[in-house]
Structure 1
């Protein structure tokens, strides 16, 4: 058996052994939380509320596990005091801003800015206090600037520090101003890092005052993102300056905009397991006709007014055939209250969420797309989640296809999504087989198998996990090569178009992995990848498309086998949101079989083996991802090499998913889940890097 065959057969061989066993038996981010900026201020408690003693999978002592939020009784006094824009003090002394409020029966869910808080430290039996903040302003004032919402007010604002704006102009930037949301790029000097912090107020060249929402240091520069709509780089960009000001803005002036109706649309009359009167059942979303006017009006950054008067921000919008799905911030909507035959209105300006919104409690907070990308990139608090796992099982039994679910293959149970989410690894690559999702070429997808796939996505969304859908077929269908007369490239593109049509509206989908480890492709993989990617883009213009490489996607061999992958300019165009996927194992034959149990590994072998791929990405200005890497439990030196590998990937903002985790692995040396339940030495290193902050704003190494 050749080395190449080892690589291609590794997972099928291990899966068969595992199945038989079952059946037989860093850097810290430069972003500063608003809490840090406020905690030094003098505060006066206006009301204290007892925190509810909820502890379950969603709550810890009344503190939401997945987002910065606490639950308190919905008394009249609490409703009046804990409202959007108010400041609150936690039991550990932190002071945070209230960003959302929801009444859920007799309780009140209060969401805060900043990171998730620790229920063990600040939860029940502690209290949450509404506070007023006393600040001394001795600086000169600037009268009547235009606020981010377009309204005018008098604001105390002494100039604290001004920075020149970087002269970046390309598809993403205009004169140093981010084209897609309110963001600026400035030099990352010490003074700028001190002045432009989350929660600070900045003044633009046209006089607008905005709050800083997110700060990311990228090399020698820093990106400063603000509240409100995108700004015009021709007006406020280079050679103007961005100015940090002292003093406090009048909050009502910033959050109460002048609203302009952009379009009004009827909702689609969809009612099924996913939709209720055109309203998405699982998160805040709705479906409308994809007319030109609707696509122009219902877009990221604008707001919508619902039939019950709520105003919400649009976080994502996807066109699917003749319809479009629009997703909002906040909790799930009630289709009976705001759905068909009612209408929905797109408006300009900032949401007027200055009071309590009565709405059901979210099963999990919806994470909106990051400001730094048009794609719904895998982010937590503005940073990509760089460490994840492969949850295998649905890719088992490739020699028995379609096979029998529960006998030849399985999908991971919900417990696996919860386990890795709790460990901080909220990125999952989910392998599945073409022959099962479409047992006969060029026919509709198998409804039963599709339901299993969607159930996995539901499990992921419940626990805040994003999923990369991985067609795990090695460039083959029932053993026949794609591009052959039996399996035309058009069939490959066609199956992806059908899959995307079914999942395009699912909030757990991070992206689409076109093909696992193509090999011996007769040079046709670039053509097939282009066709499938373009087919996906007819339905989904935003989510990442993961493009694997020939020769089993080997990172080390990548430049020698995959230069033709980007011959077509479309594959190099950044706006197409492509991510190139390589795999890497450190054993002597690159296969991941680790036949030599005595092999000792250089601590930098992982870094050295991915460097050819990373340097190729850098030289071509492309994004990358390590879809598979894994080491055996019996090799301490391999685990050290993994530690160094993950540090290097983090420095380059490249995500990775470890091979492997999930059910049916028996005692497989690389698996994080084994039948015996014994400790996995690989896990602490993965968890360490999953929970280490990064300074990335999107997938790199751009």
Structure 2
């Protein structure tokens, strides 16, 4: 992707400095403390509002409704639940109607009128109110302090995992660290000094923790030293009453899955449901626990099964009706100290629990789509030397790359190749040697259950001449696609056909050329997706202004033709993907905002969409946050994407997931997170 004349520069082999990560272990330290008084304040949770300001948000407050955005820490997810009361900065108290997690952040919606972001937005905080209870206190107990290894980052920004310009540390973003290193916590450094946490930022698989005070010397307190939370004292209440009681100890939203196996998050074939696999849910919804459903009945958990970021929980008894008890209802774990609540469903013998079926290769032709993948470049290299020499000017990715990304949970590949190599002369048969290389790539993909989008990576040109010119008629463009499809139509690895990479300066002829090629393909293959790129380098942000004519012919709007419109998006200031300014800081929502015009266009016209390229450099933590939010937004709209780029010959290119040095790629954990997140999409969206 590129929306200026620097496209070639971005896709050339460029040098870049990346960071190697050393993730250490976690240790726990216990310290005794004295008994407290008999009055104990119930826990009050406060969260900083995110400082988002754009067309949808004002200082982290939703402009069109009573909502605000806060970090999606484990503590915040547990506290800011539907039904809880929230105190805002101006003193008013509202009730939470729902929460919605978007990447590393969560949106909280309240009852009542919309809020004023200038009064209650960032840098203010929101608080779940506290109360006071009285309970006898038992003998002294212990409190657990938490410590973690500091990441061994050393580059222009970090020294041994310590931020050079301010008192900040980078540590692994595991659940324990997220729970312990919160704003307001006291942190002990290796030299004994104690500081307060002022800010926490999760970036992929790591998190940055910022403290009050002056900058810290990484040579003294950085890796391989540890960062620890300082112990605090609390009171321990006396044992619970002995009379029978029932209380809710954990509540979870049901996943909104509806397909052949699930109905509103309820398993159709047995008494099971699907919820998020948070650490709290994994700990609470375990075998033997009692679960209360929305109609009040309670069932015993027989087993749990974690699948990626979700978990299936199976109960005793008959199958549950997802229409009446499924999403958007909730399920709760209840504890009983003396008696077991009655269960209406258990008046008949328990039904046999049917295990969830084993996952199979996804049907991505017209079934559940793969939403996260990569561009495996190599065959598109050397466009200035065409046809060029294989192994010198260009290469096809080896089998190992297909296996790698299948194993990483991203079995969707966009495979760029060049027209001049597959057909060195217009109107002639395809080059048999080049065609064999292309088919071998498809064989590699099939071996590892990878689906491939074949991408003609020519920018609307053939040997430098525009399609639609006298030298390169549109009929030749349509004809070459028909020949390609005739060769691969029966190959099971083919996901679809990408008509043209980043058309630009097309003299307005791209809609006519796209129609001709798509219709030629349909004479051979009536089912697989056809990916139709947009003019002006396919820029998602500029899409509505340049591509209205792309669907002027009704054939291009007909859902029976299985067309998917392909946009590209990069977040640097000139939209090019070159990322010339290494100090550029990115708004957390910039990726969402740049694809939104394209997504809105799709929705208005009831069409399907795909982000064929998006990519960020390895040196920008703020770009990782923006990508996390982008991927969440695309998943919500069932829009697939393929990251730019992966594969051979990239050297130390800052955007690449594969570099010669083999060093850690910070972009990868963000992509994996969303690749492994379950979704309820039954086809490519946002239809």
Is 1:425 the equivalent of 2:404?
A: no
Q: How far did 1:383 drift?
A: 3.2
Separation (CA, whole Å) in 1 of partners of 2:461 and 2:315: 67
CA contact (8 A) 1:29 1:693 kept: no
The match for 2:206 is: none
What does 1:69-468 align with in structure 2 at a 5 Å threshold?
189-191=323-325, 367=361, 369=363, 376-377=365-366, 383-468=368-453
Instruction: Report the secondary structure of 1:5's partner residue.
Output: coil
User: For the Cα contact (< 8 Å) 1:36–1:94, is it kept in 2?
Assistant: no
After superposition, the C-alpha distances for 1:162-202 in whole angstroms (9 at most, x for unaligned) are: xxxxxxxxxxxxxxxxxxxxxxxxxx85436699xxxxxxx
Q: Paired residue for 1:176?
A: none
Q: Hey, what does 1:469 align to over in structure 2?
A: 454
The structure 1 residue matched to 2:673, chosen from 677, 683, 688, is: 688
1:617 and 1:701 in contact (8 A); partners too = yes
Deviations 1:459-487 (A, max 9, x none): 11111110000000000000000000000
Kindly tell me the number of residue pairs found equivalent between the two proteins.
393
TM-score, length-normalised on structure 2?
A: 0.53
1:77 is aligned to none
Match of 1:487 in 2: 472
Q: Is the 2:530–2:562 Cα contact (8 Å) retained in structure 1? A: yes
Does the 8 A contact of 1:475 with 1:518 survive in 2? yes
Per-residue CA deviation, residues 495-554 of structure 1 (Å, 9 max, x unaligned), is 000000000000000000000000000000000000000000001110000000000000
8 Å contact 2:638–2:681 — kept in the other structure? yes
In the other structure, the counterpart of 2:19 is none
SS of the residue aligned with 1:641?
Answer: helix
**1:9 corresponds to:** 8
Residues 115 and 528 (structure 1), Cα distance of their counterparts in 2 relative to 1, 3 Å cut: same
Residues 16 and 40 (structure 1 numbering): CA distance in 2 closer, same or farther, change over 3 Å? closer
**Deviation of 1:16 (Å):** 7.7
Supply the distance in 2 between the matched residues of 1:591 and 1:194 (Cα, whole angstroms): 41
For 2:257, the equivalent position in structure 1 comes to: 30
1:529 is paired with a residue whose SS is helix
TM-score by length of 1: 0.52
Deviations 1:281-311 (A, max 9, x none): xxxxxxxxxxxxxxxxxxxxxxxxxxxxxxx
Work out which of the residue numbers 482, 485, 498 in structure 2 matches 1:513: 498
Q: Is the 8 A contact 2:363 2:369 kept in 1?
A: no
Deviations 1:558-604 (A, max 9, x none): 00000000000000000100000000000111000001111111111
Question: Is 2:567 the partner of 1:568?
Answer: no
d(CA) in 2 for partners of 1:462, 1:17: 33
Contact 2:309 2:678 in 1 (8 A): no
Partner of residue 604 from structure 2, selected from 619, 627, 646: 619
Q: Which runs of 5+ in 1 are unaligned?
A: 19-25, 42-91, 97-113, 119-132, 138-158, 162-187, 196-244, 252-363, 371-375
Unpaired runs of 5+ in structure 2? 17-100, 103-254, 273-300, 330-347
Selected match of 2:521 from 533, 536, 539: 536
- Contact between 2:362 and 2:368, CA under 8 Å: does it hold in 1? no
Cα 1:492–1:38 shift into 2, 3 Å: closer
What is the deviation of 1:368? Answer: 6.7
Deviates more, 1:453-462 or 1:562-571: 453-462
Asked whether the 8 Å contact 2:453–2:497 carries over to 1, the reply is yes
* Residue in structure 2 matched with residue 172 of structure 1 by the alignment: none
The structure showing larger relative contact order (alpha-carbon pairs under 8 Å, at least 6 residues apart) is 2
Paired position in structure 2 for 1:666:
651
Q: Deviations over 1:117-147 (max 9, x none)?
A: 99xxxxxxxxxxxxxx99989xxxxxxxxxx
The Cα of 1:369 is off from its aligned counterpart by 3.9
SS of equivalent to 1:405:
coil
| Superimposed CA distance per residue, residues 40-65 of structure 1 (whole angstroms, 9 cap, x where no aligned partner) | 79xxxxxxxxxxxxxxxxxxxxxxxx
Q: How far apart in 2 are the matches of 1:563 and 1:246?
A: 61
Task: Provide the rounded CA distance (Å) in 2 between the counterparts of 1:642 and 1:136.
Answer: 43
What CA distance in whole angstroms lies between the structure 2 residues aligned with 1:512 and 1:692? Answer: 26
2:641 and 2:440 map into 1 onto residues whose CA distance is 24
Distance 1:37 1:95 in 2: 16
What's the offset of the Cα at 1:664?
0.2
What is the CA distance between 1:385 and its match in structure 2? 1.4
- Residue equivalent to 1:599: 584
After superposition, give the CA deviation of every residue in 1:307-329 in whole Å (9 maximum; x if it has no partner): xxxxxxxxxxxxxxxxxxxxxxx
Query: In structure 2, what is the equivalent of residue 641 of structure 1?
Result: 626
Return the alpha-carbon distance in structure 2 between the equivalents of residues 625 and 482 of structure 1: 24
Looking at structure 1, the residues matched to 436 and 378 of structure 2 have their Cα atoms a distance apart, in angstroms, of: 16
Question: Computing the radius of gyration over CA atoms, which structure comes out larger, 1 or 2?
Answer: 2
Would you say the 8 A contact 2:461–2:467 is kept in 1?
yes
C-alpha displacement of 1:697: 1.0
Question: 1-side partners of 2:404 and 2:633: how far apart?
Answer: 26
Q: For the structure 1 residues 116 and 502, does the alpha-carbon distance in structure 2 shift closer, same or farther, using more than 3 Å as the test?
A: farther
Kept in 1: contact 2:533–2:566 (CA 8 A): yes
Asked whether the equivalents of residues 470 and 513 of structure 1 are also in contact (C-alpha less than 8 Å), the reply is yes
> Could you tell me how far 1:9 is from its partner in structure 2?
2.1
